[in-house]
């Protein structure tokens, strides 16, 4: 029985420490790669602000001025006015730009309140509320 105990071999503390360090480094690299992949999706942000609206009741259209403070270009694909889809052509708004105009076709009456939502190609909504003069 004593011979069996003498011949029992185990890892030396140095080898065990090296294995633990290697496993820790490998897990750290995997976590860093995963977090880097997650953060890439957050780098390109769409941030449209409707800064002004002009109502034209003669032509039944609303002209909107847009400002893009995001880090990526935004493609506006559709507009909703008071819950109804409105006629509009797709408009691209460059990153970090101001003054882009979008014309939305919708019935306009003086004194009415309008809830306008623009939809981007990525599925983000940008709301704006205004009262026609």
pLDDT score recorded for residue 95: 84
pLDDT score recorded for residue 128: 92
**How is 15-55 classified by DSSP, letter by letter?**
HHHHHHHHHHHHHHHHHHHHHHHHHHHHHS---EEEEEEEE
pLDDT score recorded for residue 8: 56
- Local confidence pLDDT in tens for the 133 residues of the chain: 555 555 556 667 788 889 999 999 999 999 988 887 766 656 667 888 888 889 988 888 898 989 988 888 889 898 999 988 888 877 888 888 887 788 888 888 888 899 999 999 888 899 999 998 8
pLDDT score recorded for residue 23: 95
Integer Cα distance of 121 and 30 in angstroms? 33
- C-alpha neighbours within 13 Å on the C-beta side of residue 76: 33
Only one residue has tokens 């420490």, namely 17
């Amino acid at each position: 029985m004593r011979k069996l105990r003498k011949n029992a071999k185990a890892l030396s503390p140095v080898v065990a420490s090296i294995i633990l360090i290697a496993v820790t480094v490998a897990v750290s690299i995997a976590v860093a790669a995963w977090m880097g992949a997650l953060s890439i999706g957050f780098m390109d942000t769409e941030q449209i602000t409707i800064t002004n609206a002009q109502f034209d009741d003669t032509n039944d259209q609303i002209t909107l001025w847009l400002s893009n403070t995001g880090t990526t270009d935004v493609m506006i694909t559709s507009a909703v006015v008071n819950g109804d889809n409105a006629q509009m052509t797709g408009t691209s708004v460059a990153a970090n730009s101001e003054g882009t105009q979008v014309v939305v076709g919708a019935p306009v009456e003086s004194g009415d309140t309008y809830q306008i939502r623009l939809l981007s190609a990525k599925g983000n909504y940008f709301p704006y509320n205004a009262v026609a003069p």
